[in-house]
Amino acid sequence: MKLEAFQAAQSYGVAKSALRADLPASPAKEPEEGTAFEALHALAAAVKKGESASIAYMTGGADPHSVVEAMAAAEMAIETAVTIRDKVVEAYQEILRMPV
């Protein structure tokens, strides 16, 4: 599973915060319930949990069952995100095909 996109997003966030370090900091607010940002945060959390469970297993700190559960949850979250992305792209393409 390739996670370069997540790493790129994380790097972008770090770079963005470094560039805006001179601006007054506004308090970070949690995403509103039911928003797309909440879904993205949940996706990132599931992937991070899978990664940390894998690392813990490799260092001897976790049992195989918890690793399998975490990886299955991460896989389900990624598959859901990909399916939603495909539906959005399909809807956008359908809109582009509409006559004006």
pLDDT of the chain along its 100 residues, tens only? 445 555 555 555 555 554 455 445 555 566 566 677 888 898 999 999 999 999 999 998 888 999 999 999 999 999 999 999 999 999 999 999 998 8
Looking at residue 40, what is its pLDDT? 85
**Angle between the N-to-C axes of helices 64-97 and 36-58, in degrees from 0 to 180, rounded to the nearest 10:** 150
Looking at residue 17, what is its pLDDT? 55
How many Å apart are CA 62 and CA 59, to the nearest integer?
8
How many Å apart are CA 90 and CA 82, to the nearest integer?
12
Looking at residue 35, what is its pLDDT? 77
How many Å apart are CA 21 and CA 81, to the nearest integer?
32
Distance of CA 78 to the CA centre of its chain: 8
Q: Which two tokens stand for residue 14?
A: 């770090």
Q: Which two tokens stand for residue 29?
A: 């607010």
- Note the residue count of the chain: 100
CB-CB neighbours of 86 under 10 Å: 10
Looking at residue 61, what is its pLDDT? 86
Q: What is the enclosing helix (H) or strand (E) of 67?
A: helix 64-97
